[in-house]
Amino acid sequence: MRATAILCVKNEGAFLLEWLAHHKGIGFTDFLILSNDCTDGTDLMLDRLDEMGEVTHIRNGGPYDKGGIQWTGYKRADKHPLVQNADWLMTLDIDEFVNIHVGDHTLSALLDALPDADAIPITWRLFGNAGKVNFQDHPVTEVFTRAAPEVMYWPWRAFMFKTLYRNNGAYRKLGVHRPRAPVDGKVETTRWFDGQGREMEKRFQKKQIFSPFGRPNYGLAQLNHYALGAMESYILKRARGRAVHEGDLLGLDYWTERNWSNVEDQSIRACDPLRNSQLARFHADDTLMNLHRKSVDWRKQQFNVLMKDEPNRALMGRLLMSPPARAIPPKFAKSLFAHAQSPDRS
């Protein structure tokens, strides 16, 4: 089985090796990674990993089409042999970790549990900041262990998913959350199963980017989403900009919707042995580790540079003052959804 993960990155070298080691450990066989405008050495790390045979690295330089950097990258990836010849495909971000709960915690175990699946939308589980101020060069999955409740009713973005799907010709293009460009006559035969093991409605074959809310979604697998990280890292994330919504600066709104620290969840630690065997190989390469250390140093220095600007200082102050998110009672969440779905009578 060939399972290809596609990743777009900019200035994420400090987190690259953990992410790569984890996903290699759980069974992704190929990695197509596109970098753009890196100043922290992420691109140089990827060049080295490419030389080592660990990934395939493409520099995703401009010009970019109107969809932005990430969409341009996916269009390039669509044509690549690692995508075209894969059995299974999944697009991921550097702050997303596939966390499989069944069997030996590998992709094979998940696919064995869902043998009839053509697509498996794996729902986010949002991991909050939990009061961490300073960036640490330590595995994200070990530092951030407080997460959203298993069942929530708001915000709808908490239930977004990324899709692991069979490359059987039913879809022509990669997408951020799900495959795109469905092929009539083929897509209607696909079967979608969620991370709880339930077969999903036909509407998921062609649309929808979030799971039904108010029910468990993580029985077989979840997607750990470390969208915030330490407060220092959030300031750098704001400066880097968003991959899709390039014009939107991250602020307290994005932070508030994702800063969930209600529940302790260390289930991903079951994958530590799978990850560590891969990390050991990376750590043995002096060239790669020197580049990693330079990326870590860059991150610390860049935070000090950014804090010279008042908007960044103001945001940092607001982060320090802001409490974790709290769950909205179901009746209020349902009211919000009802307003969103009601016709405009103005």
Cis peptide before 63 (omega within 30 of 0): yes
Query: Could you give the CA distance from residue 285 to residue 233 in angstroms, rounded to a whole number?
Result: 26
In-domain check, residue 164: yes
Cβ 103 vs Cβ 113: under 8 Å? yes
Mean pLDDT, range 263-270, rounded to an integer: 98
Query: Could you give the CA distance from residue 302 to residue 310 in angstroms, rounded to a whole number?
Result: 15
Query: Could you give the CA distance from residue 174 to residue 3 in angstroms, rounded to a whole number?
Result: 14
- What residue has token string 């109107």? 66
In-domain check, residue 344: no
Rounded (10°) angle between helices 310-321 and 231-240: 140
Domain that holds residue 163: 3-339
- For the entire predicted model, the pTM comes to 0.96
What's the confidence (pLDDT) of residue 243? 58
Mean pLDDT, range 3-24, rounded to an integer: 98
Is residue 247 predicted with pLDDT exceeding 70?
A: no
Mean pLDDT, range 323-334, rounded to an integer: 92
Q: Which residue has the higher pLDDT, 334 or 277?
A: 277
In-domain check, residue 273: yes
| 333-343 core/surface letters (b: 16 or more CB in 10 A; e: else) | beeeeeeeeee
| Residue (of 208, 194, 126, 199) closest to 164 by Cα position | 194
Cβ 171 vs Cβ 119: under 8 Å? no
Is residue 345 predicted with pLDDT exceeding 50?
A: no
Is residue 346 predicted with pLDDT exceeding 80?
A: no
Amino acid at 45: M
State the total domains in the chain. Answer: 1
What's the confidence (pLDDT) of residue 93? 98
Is residue 337 predicted with pLDDT exceeding 90?
A: no
In-domain check, residue 323: yes
In-domain check, residue 89: yes
Is residue 341 predicted with pLDDT exceeding 80?
A: no
Mean pLDDT, range 260-272, rounded to an integer: 97
In-domain check, residue 318: yes
The 10s digit of each residue's pLDDT in 22-41 is 999 999 999 999 999 999 99
In-domain check, residue 345: no
Mean pLDDT, range 40-55, rounded to an integer: 98
Mean pLDDT, range 111-122, rounded to an integer: 98
Query: Could you give the CA distance from residue 278 to residue 202 in angstroms, rounded to a whole number?
Result: 39
- What residue has token string 């908490």? 158
Q: Mean pLDDT across the chain, nearest whole number?
A: 95
Mean pLDDT, range 77-81, rounded to an integer: 98
In-domain check, residue 346: no
Q: Which of 55-69, 85-99, 245-259 has the highest mean pLDDT?
A: 85-99
What's the confidence (pLDDT) of residue 342? 64
Cβ 177 vs Cβ 161: under 8 Å? yes
Q: What percent of the chain has pLDDT over 70?
A: 97
pLDDT confidence bin for 339, thresholds 50/70/90: confident
Cβ 97 vs Cβ 218: under 8 Å? no
What's the confidence (pLDDT) of residue 246? 53
Amino acid at 156: W
